[in-house]
Amino acid sequence: MSAARAWRALMAVARREIVRFSQQRARLLSAVVRPSLWLLVFAPGFAGLAAVSSGPPYQGVALTYQAYIVPGLLGMVLLFNGMQSSLSMVYDREMGIMRLLLTAPLPRWYLLLCKLAAGTLLSVLQAYAFLIVCWLAGVGLPWVGWLSVLPALLLGGLMLGAMGLLLSVYVRQLENFAGAMNFVIFPMFFLSTALYPLAVKTAHHASVIAWLARINPFEYAVTLIRFALYGQVDGPAALAVAGCLAVFFALAVLGYDPQRGMVRRIRR
Partner 1 sequence: MSSTPQAPSARARLQVCGLHKRYGTVTALAGVDLRIDAGEFVALLGPNGAGKSTLYQILSGLFHADQGDVRLCGHAVSRAPTRALAHLGLVFQEPTLDLDLSVAANLSFHAGLHGLGRARARRRIREELERAGLWEQRRTRCRALSGGNRRKVELARALLHEPDVLALDECTVGLDVASRADIIEHVRALCRDRGVAVLWATHLVDEAEGAQRIVVLHRGRVLAEGDAAALTRAGGASSLSEAFLALTDQRRSPAGSPA
Please give the residue ranges that form the binding site for partner 1 (CB under 8 A). Answer: 1-2, 4-5, 8-9, 11-13, 15-16, 19-20, 23, 95-97, 99-107, 258-259, 263, 266-267
CB 164 within 8 A of CB 79: no
Shortest distance (Å) from residue 157 CB to partner 1: 22
Return d(Cα 169, Cα 263) in angstroms, integer.
9
- Nearer Cβ to partner 1 (205/264): 264
Between 13 and 139, name the residue whose CB sits nearer to partner 1.
13
CB of 160 to partner 1, least distance (A): 25
Burial of 28 (0-12, 13-18, 19+ CB in 10 A): middle
In the bound complex, what is the minimum distance in angstroms from residue 16's beta carbon to partner 1? 5
Report, in Å, the least distance between residue 34 CB and partner 1: 23
Rounded Cα distance between 66 and 44, Å, is 7
CA dihedral over 31, 193, 37, 138, signed as positive or negative? negative
Dist CA 200 CA 205 (whole Å): 9
User: Whole-angstrom Cα distance, residue 118 to residue 108?
Assistant: 16
Residues 72, 222: Cα–Cα separation, whole Å: 5
CB of 73 vs partner 1, minimal distance in Å:
30
